[in-house]
Structure 1
Amino acid sequence: MEPVLAAFSAECARLTGVLAELVDADLDRPTECPPWTVRDLIGHIRTGAGRLTDMLAAPAPARAEVDAAGYFGAAKFTVEVDADRIAGGQRDAPRVDRTALATEFDRAWRATEAAVAAAPPDRVVRTRHGDAMRLSEFLRTRVVEVGVHGLDLASALGRPPWLTPAAAVVIADLLTGGRKTPAGLRWDRLTLIHKTTGRATLTAPERAAIDASGFRWLAFGR
């Protein structure tokens, strides 16, 4: 739990600093998660980062039924679920002055940080999809949400990626199932994350190396 919580906190703190630097024109920029604008994507990230606060306040399920990899399964990317996710991001988009964006996000993720730190390490939570998961596993999905969508924000804002090393380790480990990448793929973690989440195109040699090894990435959508 501790390394994952540290990664979550580090990535959220980094994003808080980025949000504090935005100007009004940044909020209406399009992103590579259409139809979301930067403002919509911030709303989605803020909601995702703060979700555990209410989950930990609810009764705990008796046992976990899915892990972090299962959470990102195909059922999460049906047309209906995806439509609800898109509408939710637009609904949750912060309609506050841009100077309050960092404050609101900071408040949301720090409430999650405090709630997680106070919870038993074996705590089980129920997600909005109905999944019963160990707290530590769901927290891994929050690192993915903040870190990977941080890459989307960086692209939309024309900035270099700010993904923290701690978050990169958690995300890469989840995407690969803890296995090494196939021989011949000389990727660092940032490249691996871009490639495996569809945010960078695989070259023909890369695809051939993956196919030859029989390697299977975690199913992932935007």
Structure 2
Amino acid sequence: MDLFSRSWSALRAAVAGLRDEDFTRPSGCAGWLVRDLVCHLVVDAQDVLITLATPATAEPTRDAVTYWDVVAAPTGDDPLDALIVRLAAAYREPRLLKFPLDDVGSAAGRAAALADPAGRAGTRGEVLTAGDYLGAYVLEWTPHHLDLVAHLPDVPGPSAEGLARSREMLERIAQVGFPPSFGDRDALLVGTGRRAPTGAERAALGRTAARLPFPVG
């Protein structure tokens, strides 16, 4: 839960420091500009609030790792993705996007800090402890933080601990182990399909290369 809070705070701080012109730069998400990604983060923050306010009494059905599934690689053509693009464009000015992320995002952070780690919450038809649910979101914030800075090298990226934990989770979800020659950042970028592996990386991956990518959702 602490890593959730640190990862989320770092991501929101990175967005808060963006210049207006940064919002029209491409992000690391296929088909999305930075403004589209920020709009998606607002929706994510709403999801966190909704889930933490949806208590459950049933036994947990998922944990921080099994919350995620390997899904089809994003193409940018998904109707929900297209909706995010239209919604982001409606904000017109970057400050109008920064405000709801700060407002709803701060509320999500406070709700997470107040949550009982052992308390149960329902989401997506599943039940998780609050601790596992928030732990799962480290794998949401960290790759999206990489998406944010993909074409903005001067903007601070995610923390080393967030990268390491996200790599560990991805390896467990996909049931693979990336070679030691892969740094955590590269393991996430290549593993989730955010960039293609180099020839040397493909050789190091061996048979795993044929299974790439492992986008999660």
**TM-score grouping bracket, smaller chain normalisation:** 0.7 to 0.9
Summarize the Cα distance change of 1:172–1:182 in structure 2 as closer, same or farther, 3 Å threshold.
closer
Summarize the Cα distance change of 1:159–1:43 in structure 2 as closer, same or farther, 3 Å threshold.
same
Q: Which residue of 2 aligns with 1:53?
A: 49
User: Following TM superposition, by how much is the alpha carbon of 1:15 offset from its aligned partner in structure 2, in angstroms?
Assistant: 2.5
Q: Which residue of 2 aligns with 1:34?
A: 30
Separation of aligned partners in 2, 1:170 and 1:52: 20
Cα pair 2:121 2:129 within 8 Å, conserved = yes
Summarize the Cα distance change of 1:125–1:19 in structure 2 as closer, same or farther, 3 Å threshold.
same
What does the per-residue CA deviation read over 1:141-174, in whole Å, with 9 as the maximum and x for residues that have no partner? 3222221111111114354661112311321221
Is 2:78 aligned against 1:73? no
What does the per-residue CA deviation read over 1:160-206, in whole Å, with 9 as the maximum and x for residues that have no partner? 661112311321221122999455x4122222222211123223453
Is 2:118 aligned against 1:122? yes
Partner of residue 12 from structure 1, selected from 8, 12, 19: 8
Is 2:101 aligned against 1:105? yes
Secondary structure in structure 2 of the residue aligned to 1:210: helix
Q: Which residue of 2 aligns with 1:44?
A: 40
User: Following TM superposition, by how much is the alpha carbon of 1:212 offset from its aligned partner in structure 2, in angstroms?
Assistant: 5.5
Summarize the Cα distance change of 1:22–1:205 in structure 2 as closer, same or farther, 3 Å threshold.
closer
Is 2:176 aligned against 1:174? no
Cα pair 1:56 1:115 within 8 Å, conserved = yes
Cα pair 2:118 2:130 within 8 Å, conserved = yes
Is 2:142 aligned against 1:147? yes
Cα pair 2:121 2:127 within 8 Å, conserved = yes
Cα pair 1:47 1:92 within 8 Å, conserved = no
Q: TM-score, normalised by structure 1?
A: 0.76
Secondary structure in structure 2 of the residue aligned to 1:153: helix
Q: TM-score, normalised by structure 2?
A: 0.78
Separation of aligned partners in 2, 1:103 and 1:10: 20
**Structure 1, unaligned stretches of length 5 or more?**
none
Q: What RMSD in Å do the two structures reach over aligned CA positions?
A: 3.4
